[in-house]
């Protein structure tokens, strides 16, 4: 019997399945179990002498760290798909930011793209609506203009609230302009210009009698203003697309709370 024990130990050491790379992480090595236990005792004594104030809670947290790391290294399918789409969105938005700065490929057209973006800004539209409301003398015109003013104010408040919640930065580090600060359009998601032009184009298509060429030009204007924000590097592609969606939803909201002519006349008389 004593001679058979060293032989079995030698066979266990030479067995390929007993090597470290074939063992489970939860099972200790048989040959080195005693040496590891001795090493743990010595390290435990040294740790107890060096850090006598270690709490059991901290030791428990340190033992749970490897499990937490393993959980982070095994994401779900939804997480992988979301991160992949996010990476594609950022990459495509950076490539389309051809007017992000003067050194870009289309840097010379930056001023023209900025001018196109101003046509979809909230401050000029609110000022123009107020001027037209003052000069309007018909009840139908005043009703449409008052509801348009309501839609513009709702757009600014809704977009500003969503941007404060999301706090997403743009693809390029570009500081917002003065008009952007006035309308609280300082973050990327959703794009305020895109939501505004989508709401305005839908509003005019529903409440103004326009010829077919003008209707096509109105839709093209909304698309150009929205994607011009990607070209200057202020928004991602998904920010602009989500802005179009929110603009349509804002139009539907204004249609639900549409103010009648009597309500508009009462508000005008108070003002």
d(CA 7, CA 78): 53
Which run of H or of E encompasses 69?
Answer: helix 56-72
Burial of 249 (0-12, 13-18, 19+ CB in 10 A): middle
d(CA 195, CA 239): 10
- In the chain, count of helices (H) and strands (E)? 12, 0
E-strand ranges in 21-174 read none
Closest CA to 171 of 79, 84, 92: 92
Tokens of 15: 């067995």
Which run of H or of E encompasses 115?
Answer: helix 110-118
Which run of H or of E encompasses 42?
Answer: helix 33-50
Tokens of 211: 């010829």
| Residues noted as catalytic | 193, 235
Which run of H or of E encompasses 84?
Answer: helix 77-96
């Amino acid at each position: 019997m004593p001679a058979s024990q060293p032989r079995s130990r030698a066979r266990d050491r030479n067995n390929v399945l007993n090597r470290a790379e074939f063992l489970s992480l939860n099972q200790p090595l048989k040959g080195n179990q005693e040496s590891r236990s001795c090493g743990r005792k010595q390290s435990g004594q040294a740790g107890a002498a060096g850090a006598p104030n270690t709490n059991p809670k901290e030791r428990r947290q340190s033992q749970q760290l490897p499990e937490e790391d393993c959980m982070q290294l095994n994401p779900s399918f939804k997480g992988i798909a979301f991160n992949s789409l996010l990476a594609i969105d950022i990459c495509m938005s950076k490539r389309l930011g051809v007017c992000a700065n003067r050194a870009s490929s289309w840097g010379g057209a930056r001023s023209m793209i900025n001018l196109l973006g101003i046509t979809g800004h909230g401050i000029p539209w609110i000022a123009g609506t107020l001027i037209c409301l003052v000069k309007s003398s018909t009840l139908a015109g005043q009703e449409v203009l008052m509801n348009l003013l309501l839609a513009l104010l709702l757009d600014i408040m809704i977009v500003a609230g969503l941007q404060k919640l999301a706090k997403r930065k743009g693809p390029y580090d570009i500081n917002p302009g003065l008009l952007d600060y006035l309308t609280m359009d300082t973050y990327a998601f959703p794009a305020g210009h895109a939501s505004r032009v989508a709401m305005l184009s839908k509003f005019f298509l529903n409440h103004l009698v326009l010829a077919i060429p003008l209707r096509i030009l109105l839709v093209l204007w909304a698309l150009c203003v929205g994607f011009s924000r990607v070209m200057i590097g202020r928004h991602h592609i998904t920010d602009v697309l989500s802005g179009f969606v929110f603009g349509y939803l804002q139009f539907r909201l204004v249609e639900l709370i549409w103010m009648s002519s009597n309500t508009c006349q009462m508000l005008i008389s108070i003002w």
